[in-house]
Chains A and B, each alone.
Chain A
Amino acid sequence: MGGDEEQLTEQETALYDRQIRVWGADAQRRLSKSHFLVHGMKGIVAEFCKNIVLAGVGSVTLVDDRMVTEEALSANFLIPPEENAGRGKTLAELCCDSLKEFNPMVLVSVEKGDVSTFGGEFFEKFDAIILSSCSLVKKKLINQKCRKLSKRIAFYTVDCRDSTGEIFVDLQNYKYSKKNIEETVDCQLEYPSFEEAISVPWTALQRKVSKLYFAMRDCSSATADVPYAKFLF
């Protein structure tokens, strides 16, 4: 598609009308060119994938080589419960089939293998990466690989346990503008890396940090076997 300013197609304008009225046609155009990598197809991630596919992003690449389990079905509405449908397919493959239906204009695909072993050239294809069901070590590793690239990749981790959840965001050096009544101000935020963020000694944290923060840290730790409820007295 050549041309100076790519316009949204008639089909896109009709489909995305209501959300274009929220974030504008320009944002919609940029969304349609963005590429997402998503790892770990649990409930929260299924929700997320539904939302971004509906939003009309360029592509979503799913990673999860696990086979379907009873537990996986409980909060993941992307997986049909019939035995036959699921036979032989990985979680990512099943979710991929369902997600495609939500918006045929979005390219949804599956990547197999342990992505933490992939190189920079692989991650460079993406504009945003969302990790879930992933050890601390792997999260650190992937975050580091992303930070080494010249292209800024938005990095997110998300985990849910029972009725609590946690999101980590790393936008590296993030420039944005803020509109006040009078003027528009240019702002900048410098995000710490994943490793830096979780390495803050607990004694250095502010007094009012939520107990959940500690619970989630503890749960993520490979050796911990302490029920998190213990922290929530």
Chain B
Amino acid sequence: MASDQQLSAIKNSKVLMVGAGGIGCELLKTLALSGFQDIHIIDMDTIEVSNLNRQFLFRRSHVGQSKAKVARDAVLKFRPSISITSYHANVKDPQFSVDFFKEFNVVLNGLDNLDARRHVNRLCLAAGVPLVESGTTGFLGQVSVHLKGKTECYECQPKPAPKTYPVCTITSTPSKFVHCIVWAKDLLFAKLFGDKNQENDLNVRSNDGHSSSDHSEDVFEQREDEDVEQYGRRIYDHVFGYNIEVALSNEETWKNRNKPRPIYVKDVPTGNLTQQNGNMREDGDLSAMASLGLKNPQDVWSLAENSKVFFEALKLFFVNRPKDIGNLTFDKDDQLAVEFVTAAANIRASSFGIPLHSLFEAKGIAGNIVHAVATTNAVVAGLIVIEAIKVLQKDNDNHRMTYCLEHPARKMLLMPAEPFEPNKSCYVCSETPLSLEVNTCRSKLRDFVEKIVKSKLGMNFPLIMHGSQILYEVGDDLDADMVAIYSANLEKVLSELPSPVTSGTMLSIEDLQQEFSCTINIKHREEFDEEKEPDGMLLSGWTQPSTLNKNELVGNGGSTSNALLAEGTENATGKKRKLSDISKPTTSDGSGLAESGNQNQPESLDDDDDDDLFISDDLESLTKKKRSQ
């Protein structure tokens, strides 16, 4: 097996795994079999049935239990003498401080979200601990190594942000199925079953502002004299009929768009609405599909069938789950909620001439489900351990970023590449100032904190200063006075803060837990495009490094789960995913491999069409770009 030197380095190491899911299970197994003796593992999740197709350390009987704990117990069964410490906690908790991270020789990520990845990245930078990052989606996977000062950090290449949609597209002018899903989930479902006190744009029209007048509040409340079926029909007519008619009355909106058609109950032959079968699935979940005899979640229902499901689901909620009304947020594992949202989205889609989708597909979109199989995770776990061993041996010149492809590119399924140097303009590891264009007279501090500091910059416990004045901070040990001042500041527009923020102001922002700070130059701007810049703010300043942004090649189409975050990842069709740019023989030459400086064409790879399987012992000839040596 490994050489004595390797074995010794492995045996004496202490490693931290973040994530005990798809990659985590495979990784823990592989680490244990490879001779690692001291492993710590953090995961905040509990086990679900849909995990069991690949998270093999878990059994059906474990559903609901902590992933980190069960993974630990399962591995101890075949390696009883190693030490595994599990934490059923969020890696963003303060207990996982920089000092905590400093205890480890290497940190191995098996996460499924960008937010946590950025957080760990910053802590590893602050602690000076090497980080091995990874991600998988279906058959695609990726492993990368991040050594402070030597290679780029995880955030040197900007990662695709979660997709968001302008409000007017959702409320008035949907053009894709995902828009209908967002409408059904975040507006209609939320309005009918969620917190009544929440602001809801359901009745917003494209040229109004928010409109919830008393009149429209009444519309969604069940009246005293109507039974649940009458209620359902009234709601149906209101959202699919009346609201569309109102939208149509604004000619301007539809000048260059296809007009939707209003749909009323009377237009749809729903026939006999009484329950035909039992309304429970085999697993005991309430289901409109079950009671209507619609067995196959892969079927695309007709408008009539979708309407039936709409009414039946609504009824089942009100009759069988009355306590839930007013308390629910959409949960992809709530069968009835998924059925309702699918039906509502499909009816809206029908109205707007958008193709209908099956429950299976709709669930994937609404639930942001990432498709996954065991094998990719197993391969990636193996690659992670290989890189981890190099870290332990301080074999820093031999690190590789490796892409795991679905189809061979240049006859290879695993494409290695050398790590990039740090990006000198990375605001995370290279302290570059950023710029923010914002309307300082209209945007409030709260907007800045939510949309920029927390969301874009990924800080959890920010401290915002203007010169020596603290405008805002979060913490446990603050004076009540200060807390009151900060709360008041949040509601003020930037130019009216105690220390006014105007064009030319430089703000410094810190997150003490992440030991991360940056500066932002403020530039005032009057107008923002509602569709293209829905936040009303534009953050810029970190520039791409001059070499090809290979992460984007993988990110487009979502080859790693960090690119597949929010709404609209229409991958859940049950069909094989189309491979992203990786396999196109364009500038990337089959992968992000061979760039050097500003050139896009690789130097040594053009003659290989006649190749049989060629495993090069010299990766240098395959990977020519700005190296981290």
**Chain B contacts of A18 at CB under 8 A?**
50, 53-54, 369-373
A12 → chain B, closest Cβ, in Å?
10
A139 → chain B, closest Cβ, in Å?
20
Interface-lining segment among A77-85, A128-136, A183-191: A77-85
Whether A19 and B281, one on each chain, are in contact in the complex, defined by CB atoms closer than 8 angstroms, is no
Whether B1 and A15, one on each chain, are in contact in the complex, defined by CB atoms closer than 8 angstroms, is no
Does A87 sit at the interface, judged by CB under 8 A? no
Q: Mark A133-147, 1 if CB is under 8 A from B, else 0.
A: 000000000000000
Return the chain B residue nearest A43 by Cβ.
B33
Whether B374 and A51, one on each chain, are in contact in the complex, defined by CB atoms closer than 8 angstroms, is yes
Select which of A9, A22, A50 is within 8 A of B372 by beta carbon. Answer: A22
Whether A21 and B571, one on each chain, are in contact in the complex, defined by CB atoms closer than 8 angstroms, is yes
Whether B54 and A54, one on each chain, are in contact in the complex, defined by CB atoms closer than 8 angstroms, is yes
Does B524 sit at the interface, judged by CB under 8 A? no
Does A212 sit at the interface, judged by CB under 8 A? yes
Does A162 sit at the interface, judged by CB under 8 A? yes
| Most-contacted residue by chain B among A23, A79, A80 (CB, 10 A) | A23
| Most-contacted residue by chain B among A17, A74, A78, A211 (CB, 10 A) | A17
Q: Mark A41-67, 1 if CB is under 8 A from B, else 0.
A: 001000100110011100000000000
**Chain B contacts of A114 at CB under 8 A?**
none
Whether A22 and B54, one on each chain, are in contact in the complex, defined by CB atoms closer than 8 angstroms, is no
Whether B80 and A81, one on each chain, are in contact in the complex, defined by CB atoms closer than 8 angstroms, is yes
A177 → chain B, closest Cβ, in Å?
12
Does B192 sit at the interface, judged by CB under 8 A? no
Whether B53 and A54, one on each chain, are in contact in the complex, defined by CB atoms closer than 8 angstroms, is yes
Select which of A13, A14, A22 is within 8 A of B576 by beta carbon. Answer: A22
Number of B residues with CB within 8 Å of any CB on chain A = 49
Q: In the bound complex, what is the Cα–Cα distance between A22 and B372 (angstroms)?
A: 7
Q: In the bound complex, what is the Cα–Cα distance between A46 and B573 (angstroms)?
A: 32
Interface-lining segment among A119-127, A150-158, A202-210, A216-224: A202-210
Whether A81 and B374, one on each chain, are in contact in the complex, defined by CB atoms closer than 8 angstroms, is no
Q: In the bound complex, what is the Cα–Cα distance between A55 and B33 (angstroms)?
A: 23
Whether A74 and B374, one on each chain, are in contact in the complex, defined by CB atoms closer than 8 angstroms, is no
**Chain B contacts of A51 at CB under 8 A?**
374-375, 378
Q: In the bound complex, what is the Cα–Cα distance between A212 and B614 (angstroms)?
A: 10
Return the chain A residue nearest B375 by Cβ.
A51
A201 → chain B, closest Cβ, in Å?
15
**Chain A contacts of B80 at CB under 8 A?**
81
Whether A74 and B373, one on each chain, are in contact in the complex, defined by CB atoms closer than 8 angstroms, is no
Does A24 sit at the interface, judged by CB under 8 A? yes
**Chain A contacts of B573 at CB under 8 A?**
21
A142 → chain B, closest Cβ, in Å?
24
A212 → chain B, closest Cβ, in Å?
7
Whether A14 and B139, one on each chain, are in contact in the complex, defined by CB atoms closer than 8 angstroms, is no
Interface-lining segment among B125-133, B154-162, B290-298: B290-298
Whether B612 and A208, one on each chain, are in contact in the complex, defined by CB atoms closer than 8 angstroms, is yes
Select which of B138, B375, B612 is within 8 A of A209 by beta carbon. Answer: B612
Does A11 sit at the interface, judged by CB under 8 A? yes
Return the chain B residue nearest A73 by Cβ.
B78
Does A228 sit at the interface, judged by CB under 8 A? no
Whether B53 and A19, one on each chain, are in contact in the complex, defined by CB atoms closer than 8 angstroms, is yes
Given known contacts A15-B49, A16-B53, A80-B78, A24 and B576 CB-to-CB distance under 8 angstroms: yes
Return the chain A residue nearest B382 by Cβ.
A47
Q: In the bound complex, what is the Cα–Cα distance between A232 and B364 (angstroms)?
A: 48
Select which of B78, B296, B360, B613 is within 8 A of A81 by beta carbon. Answer: B78
Does B577 sit at the interface, judged by CB under 8 A? yes
B130 → chain A, closest Cβ, in Å?
21
Whether B56 and A102, one on each chain, are in contact in the complex, defined by CB atoms closer than 8 angstroms, is yes
A123 → chain B, closest Cβ, in Å?
25
Given known contacts A17-B50, A210-B613, A54 and B371 CB-to-CB distance under 8 angstroms: no
Interface residues of B in 535-593 (CB under 8 A from A): 571-577
Whether A24 and B283, one on each chain, are in contact in the complex, defined by CB atoms closer than 8 angstroms, is no
Given known contacts A19-B54, A50-B56, A13 and B374 CB-to-CB distance under 8 angstroms: no
Q: In the bound complex, what is the Cα–Cα distance between A107 and B1 (angstroms)?
A: 33
Does B257 sit at the interface, judged by CB under 8 A? no
Whether A21 and B59, one on each chain, are in contact in the complex, defined by CB atoms closer than 8 angstroms, is no
**Chain B contacts of A77 at CB under 8 A?**
29, 32-33, 78
Majority SS of interface residues in chain A? helix
Whether B296 and A21, one on each chain, are in contact in the complex, defined by CB atoms closer than 8 angstroms, is no
Q: Mark A83-97, 1 if CB is under 8 A from B, else 0.
A: 000000000000000
B11 → chain A, closest Cβ, in Å?
14
Given known contacts A19-B54, A75-B33, A24 and B49 CB-to-CB distance under 8 angstroms: no
Q: In the bound complex, what is the Cα–Cα distance between A16 and B574 (angstroms)?
A: 11
Interface residues of B in 347-392 (CB under 8 A from A): 360, 364, 369-375, 378
Does B409 sit at the interface, judged by CB under 8 A? no
Select which of A9, A43, A55, A232 is within 8 A of B374 by beta carbon. Answer: A55
Whether B371 and A19, one on each chain, are in contact in the complex, defined by CB atoms closer than 8 angstroms, is yes
Does B93 sit at the interface, judged by CB under 8 A? no
B550 → chain A, closest Cβ, in Å?
23
**Chain A contacts of B490 at CB under 8 A?**
none
**Chain A contacts of B321 at CB under 8 A?**
none
Does B251 sit at the interface, judged by CB under 8 A? no
Whether B612 and A22, one on each chain, are in contact in the complex, defined by CB atoms closer than 8 angstroms, is no
Q: In the bound complex, what is the Cα–Cα distance between A10 and B615 (angstroms)?
A: 45
Does B532 sit at the interface, judged by CB under 8 A? no
B404 → chain A, closest Cβ, in Å?
14
Select which of A21, A80, A104 is within 8 A of B574 by beta carbon. Answer: A21
Q: In the bound complex, what is the Cα–Cα distance between A210 and B49 (angstroms)?
A: 43
Q: In the bound complex, what is the Cα–Cα distance between A211 and B618 (angstroms)?
A: 13
Does A20 sit at the interface, judged by CB under 8 A? yes
Does A7 sit at the interface, judged by CB under 8 A? yes
Whether B1 and A74, one on each chain, are in contact in the complex, defined by CB atoms closer than 8 angstroms, is yes
Q: In the bound complex, what is the Cα–Cα distance between A212 and B49 (angstroms)?
A: 42
Does B497 sit at the interface, judged by CB under 8 A? no
Whether A24 and B574, one on each chain, are in contact in the complex, defined by CB atoms closer than 8 angstroms, is yes
**Chain B contacts of A195 at CB under 8 A?**
none
Whether A208 and B611, one on each chain, are in contact in the complex, defined by CB atoms closer than 8 angstroms, is yes
B437 → chain A, closest Cβ, in Å?
39
Q: In the bound complex, what is the Cα–Cα distance between A104 and B53 (angstroms)?
A: 12
Return the chain B residue nearest A102 by Cβ.
B56
Whether A14 and B49, one on each chain, are in contact in the complex, defined by CB atoms closer than 8 angstroms, is yes
**Chain A contacts of B571 at CB under 8 A?**
21
Does B52 sit at the interface, judged by CB under 8 A? yes
Given known contacts A22-B372, A81-B80, A210-B615, A162 and B1 CB-to-CB distance under 8 angstroms: yes
Does B77 sit at the interface, judged by CB under 8 A? yes
Whether A22 and B29, one on each chain, are in contact in the complex, defined by CB atoms closer than 8 angstroms, is no
Return the chain B residue nearest A99 by Cβ.
B56
Q: In the bound complex, what is the Cα–Cα distance between A85 and B360 (angstroms)?
A: 43
Mind listing 24 A-B residue pairs with CB under 8 Å? A14-B50, A15-B49, A17-B50, A18-B54, A18-B370, A19-B53, A19-B371, A19-B373, A20-B574, A21-B364, A21-B371, A21-B571, A21-B572, A21-B573, A22-B139, A22-B373, A54-B56, A77-B29, A78-B78, A81-B80, A104-B60, A208-B612, A212-B615, A232-B617
Q: Which residues of B contact A (CB under 8 A)?
A: 1, 29, 32-33, 49-50, 52-54, 56, 59-60, 77-80, 138-139, 281-283, 295-298, 360, 364, 369-375, 378, 571-577, 610-615, 617
With A7-B295, A78-B78 already in contact, 18 other A-B pairs whose C-beta atoms are closer than 8 Å: A9-B282, A10-B281, A14-B49, A15-B52, A17-B369, A18-B372, A19-B374, A20-B574, A21-B364, A21-B371, A21-B574, A22-B371, A24-B574, A51-B374, A77-B29, A77-B33, A210-B615, A211-B617
